[in-house]
Chains A and B, each alone.
Chain A
Amino acid sequence: MPAIEAKALERTFEGGIQAVAGVDLEVSDGEIYAFLGPNGAGKTTTVRMLTTLLRPTGGSARVAGFDVVEDPASVRRSIGVALQEAALDPLMTGRELIRLQATLHGLSKRDGNQRAEALLERVDLVDAADRQVGTYSGGMRRRLDLASALVHEPRVLFLDEPTTGLDPVSRRTIWEEVEALNREGTTVFLTTQYLEEADQLADRVGIIDFGRIVAEDTPTLLKAQIGQPHLEIRLMDGSTERAEEIVSRFGKPLPRKDGAVLVELEGGAARVAPVVRALDEAGLGVEALDLVEPTLDDVFLAKTGHHLEPEEPEAAEDE
């Protein structure tokens, strides 16, 4: 039985805005599935429907074997949720919050306290446990949010943009925790705008744009669909034409970029050495060499015609 199943899931808001326009997906038990897409793509709306916070206007979904519309109470018992805004009460302490969560899930006082201590330990918040949440940093709040979602050892964990706005160190901490949870058997459904996050964490990625899944597969296979990695070679004396002749033996030459010679490499990274050797034998000095893999953004661009990540902020400032 899949952990999450959606068939033609749809949500239209008042005014005819179709946030989710027919999503089919199936997440197996023990998988980490990432929903990747820009702001407004429909990720949060989908998560809200799967977690019984929003009623679908079309289609159906089952989570942990229960229908989200017919049996929401059973769904809620089986899931843990950490939403986009770390939904915490600033006046409560970390410990109080997890204990409240435990009580709401029906755990006895004793079990709840034990669970709270174990979770605080796990997310490294023991020292801050008796401080009010209002004093926590962004990273601490996310960790507490995650811990609260785990109080009842859910089968399926939903994470809506779990690391947005976090510094790299905090982000990595969350990733490690998610991987650890997955190793213990929890199915994880996460949404993200970050390529790296989807790439690193997910077993499978669903790329969503304008409320529809436009591509779905493992990160590797998705990227392979787009093309092979390519080499960017910058030569010391600018002898680009000669270099192009040589490298064309190893793969399809691509348009030059900023004076660098580009060639698509069939066979991937293993073919780098022969290219370098050939250039060397021809007496051409290589100043810089870069192996560029296709990214999920390339996948996104190919499927939707626009980039996933916004333009570089530096470029905007220069204008």
Chain B
Amino acid sequence: MTWAQSVEAVRALIRRAANEILRVPGAAIPGVLAPTIFFLGLTSVFGALDHLAGFPAPYKDWLIPVSLLQGAGFTGAATGVNLARDIEQGWFDRLLVSPAPRPVILAGLVLSAALRSLIPAAFLLVVGFAIGVQWPGLDGLVITLLVVMGMGTVAACWGTTLALKYRSQSAAPLMQAGMLLLVLTTTAYAPLALLTGWLHTVARYNPVTQILEAARQGFIGGVTWGDTWPGLLCLAGLLAVLSGLALRGMRRTAV
């Protein structure tokens, strides 16, 4: 396949994935609402934490990037669930039997998640700003959205890997839970200094902590390159690892 043909194929597959939200009424709603509900809920429950010494910002400003990443995680996991369904129903065989190269098929599957992640993110930001979340500045916003799209892709690769391994929609909770775990074992609830025990250690080495901090900077202060590049690097690294896993899974499904 030539480069142009590959791009065209990826575009066609992304267009197809969009049908899930455009043509199934109400399908998008849970995925869009859930991160916002969790954001509002967690802010109400743990909001008083920002009174602790060492907390650099109001809790809602602190928490919103976590919910943004959770939204990206749900969206990506949903991609995995849809793929599992397509595998169960035989549609995926049609893609495998075509001459489209495996990386092209994978790209078509996961890049749609990147774009779809923006939907819950947009909703959450609107609600967040409405209740007084700090405006992150244009640079902060751009970085945040980039990170959201990146995490959506990472989550989609994870979901795809599981879908290809288990070939069943019953793997859905594993897809959701995996991403949730990755995002919460970071400086999600509190700054690193205030985390205790094992979480302090895990958060220190979890690449998603860097990614989270890059997305968070605008909301709790100013945006600097020094706070951005580690996050982007970790994102790139995660993408490389998980897309590699997904690709390997694809190559194993058929000859």
Q: Does A183 contact B (CB under 8 A)?
A: no
Q: Does A18 contact B (CB under 8 A)?
A: no
Among B87-137, those with CB < 8 Å from A are 89-101
A89 CA to B23 CA, complexed, in Å: 12
Chain B residues close to A by CB (< 8 Å): 1-2, 5, 8-9, 12-13, 16, 19-20, 23-24, 86, 89-101, 254-255
* A residues near B24, Cβ cutoff 8 Å: 91
A81 CB contact (under 8 Å) in B12, B89, B97, B100: B97
- 24 A-B residue pairs with Cβ-Cβ distance under 8 Å, sorted by A, are A52-B96, A52-B255, A53-B93, A53-B96, A53-B255, A54-B255, A55-B254, A69-B255, A73-B99, A76-B99, A83-B94, A88-B94, A89-B16, A89-B19, A89-B91, A96-B16, A99-B12, A100-B16, A104-B9, A104-B12, A105-B100, A106-B9, A109-B8, A132-B23
Q: Are B99 and A53 in contact (CB under 8 A)?
A: no
Question: Taking the nearest CB of chain B, how far is it from the CB of A141, in angstroms?
Answer: 12
Q: Beyond the given A52-B254, A76-B99, A99-B12, please list 4 additional residue pairs across the A-B interface where CB-CB is below 8 A.
A: A73-B101, A87-B89, A88-B91, A104-B9
* A residues near B99, Cβ cutoff 8 Å: 73, 76-77, 104-106
Question: Taking the nearest CB of chain A, how far is it from the CB of B87, in angstroms?
Answer: 10
* B residues near A77, Cβ cutoff 8 Å: 99
Q: Are A104 and B255 in contact (CB under 8 A)?
A: no
Nearest CB to that of A74 among chain B residues? B99
Question: Taking the nearest CB of chain B, how far is it from the CB of A146, in angstroms?
Answer: 13
Nearest CB to that of B18 among chain A residues? A91
Question: Taking the nearest CB of chain A, how far is it from the CB of B90, in angstroms?
Answer: 4
Question: Taking the nearest CB of chain B, how far is it from the CB of A159, in angstroms?
Answer: 13
Known contacts A76-B98, A77-B99, A106-B1: A83-B9 contact under CB 8 Å: no
Known contacts A89-B91, A91-B24, A101-B98: A53-B254 contact under CB 8 Å: yes
* A residues near B20, Cβ cutoff 8 Å: 91
* B residues near A55, Cβ cutoff 8 Å: 254-255
Question: Taking the nearest CB of chain B, how far is it from the CB of A22, in angstroms?
Answer: 19
B8 CB contact (under 8 Å) in A89, A101, A103, A132: A103
A94 CA to B86 CA, complexed, in Å: 17
Q: Mark A39-56, 1 if CB is under 8 A from B, else 0.
A: 000000000000111110
* A residues near B89, Cβ cutoff 8 Å: 85, 87
